[in-house]
């Protein structure tokens, strides 16, 4: 059996590209936000790859598998080496009048918001929406029903980023 190199640029070939240094030089909040979004993209791409494979759509499965790998590689370039004590829960749920909560995913953020809502027993008029942040950047808002929307005002026809109505949440 051949041993795999432990050199970082062998394990993650994106590190060998000049643009990788520019990505690592970006402000921490920007890198954190992009890394979270790319890891989410990688997870969704892996899911689509598995579904395509099960449907015998081999070329589509290969495409999504490749998207997942490279999204993960770029996310790891952005994250850099994880510092001790760095949270694996990058989402912060900020809600007026309540302590902030930390979440690892869109689903967990929605679940935590809904658990608090159910525990308090407040109706829609009394229980405030929450702002979902990564670092200090708003990435969504959670409505009373637990759906996560783009930050800002809702408009007719807008699709949620995370939907509690579907099994996968998307």
CB 158 within 8 A of CB 149: yes
Q: What global pTM score does this model have?
A: 0.74
Instruction: Tell me what pLDDT residue 84 has.
Output: 44
Domain spans of the chain? Answer: 8-79, 91-149
Q: What is the DSSP letter of 152?
A: S
Residue 71: count other Cβ atoms within 10 Å of its Cβ: 20
Q: 18-41 in b/e burial notation, b at 16+ Cβ within 10 A?
A: eebeebeeeeeeebbbbbbbbbbb
pLDDT confidence bin for 49, thresholds 50/70/90: very high
According to DSSP, residue 81 is labeled S
Q: What is the pLDDT of residues 105-158, one digit of tens each?
A: 999 999 999 999 999 998 888 999 999 999 889 999 999 999 999 998 888 899
């Amino acid at each position: 059996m051949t041993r795999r190199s432990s050199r970082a640029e062998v394990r993650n070939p994106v590190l060998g590209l000049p643009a990788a240094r520019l990505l690592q030089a970006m402000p921490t909040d920007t890198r954190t936000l992009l890394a979270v979004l790319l890891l989410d993209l990688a997870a969704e791409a892996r899911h689509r790859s598995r579904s395509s494979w099960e449907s015998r759509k081999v070329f589509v499965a290969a495409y999504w598998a490749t998207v997942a790998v490279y999204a993960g590689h770029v996310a790891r370039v952005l994250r850099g080496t994880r510092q001790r004590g760095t949270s694996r829960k990058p989402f912060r749920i900020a809600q007026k009048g309540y302590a902030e909560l930390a979440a690892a995913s869109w689903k967990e953020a929605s679940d935590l918001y809904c658990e608090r809502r159910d525990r308090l027993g407040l109706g829609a008029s009394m229980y405030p929406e929450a702002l979902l942040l990564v670092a200090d950047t708003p990435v969504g808002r959670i409505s009373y029903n637990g759906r996560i929307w783009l930050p800002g005002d809702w408009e007719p026809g807008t699709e949620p980023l995370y939907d509690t109505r579907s099994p996968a949440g998307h």
